[in-house]
Amino acid sequence: MTLLKNKPEDNARTISLLKSGNEDTFDNVFRYYYKGLCAFASQYVSFEESEEIVQDTMMWLWENRGTLIPEMSLKSLLFVIVKNKALNRISHNQMKDRIMKDMTQKFEEQFTDPDFYLENELMTLLSEAINKLPEEQRIAFEMSRMDGMTHKEIAEKLNVSPQTVNYRISQSVKFLHKELKNYLPLIIYMLN
């Protein structure tokens, strides 16, 4: 990546231009801070993860540019966000490692492949939770998530409105989230 060496204009002017949606200013900020932010983040996480964190930070900056305050230091803001994202990544990775270690120890004597057991156990729990859904919600949820049908296709097949389908699926997701709340860290681990 070829990076610009132009230091952004004074802080207040740069923030003002960002707030107005000036893409050239954003591009210059991105290019000016990218390498330094990556180097900073790589003190905490791998270089590949640091690049991802910096890109996420820059995406956040663009999406939230309207909330920036001209008096705040853009440089400080970017470095604080990158540091927090890096620390969160470390915490997330440690949680995944801890869960896997705990589950491995718990079932080591009974099972030779904890990953296989975890997947099967989670699928069983998910299947049981889905079966507890009211029939209309369960059917809409399965058609959407398991059959890959769009809300419009489901609506046509069930002879209801797409809004009804959307409501049924959202209610299903809320129920499943509540029903499986104790297993969310494991589900997140298995999906990553």
Instruction: Give the whole-angstrom CA distance, residue 118 versus residue 96.
Output: 13
Paired tokens of 142: 């399965």
pLDDT in tens, 116-140: 555 677 778 878 888 999 999 999 9
Ranked by mean pLDDT, the top range of 22-31, 87-96, 100-109, 174-183 is 22-31
Q: How many CA atoms lie within 13 A of 37 on its CB side?
A: 30
Average of per-residue pLDDT values in the chain:
82
pLDDT in tens, 165-177: 989 988 988 888 8
Judge whether 93 and 151 are in contact, CB under 8 Å.
Answer: no
| The pLDDT of residue 56 | 92
Q: Which domains does the chain have, with CATH numbers?
A: 11-96 (1.10.1740.10), 112-191 (1.10.10.10)
pLDDT band, very low/low/confident/very high, at 88 (cuts 50, 70, 90):
confident
Contacts of 36 (CB under 8 A, 6+ apart): none
- Angle between helices 11-19 and 23-41 in degrees, nearest 10: 120
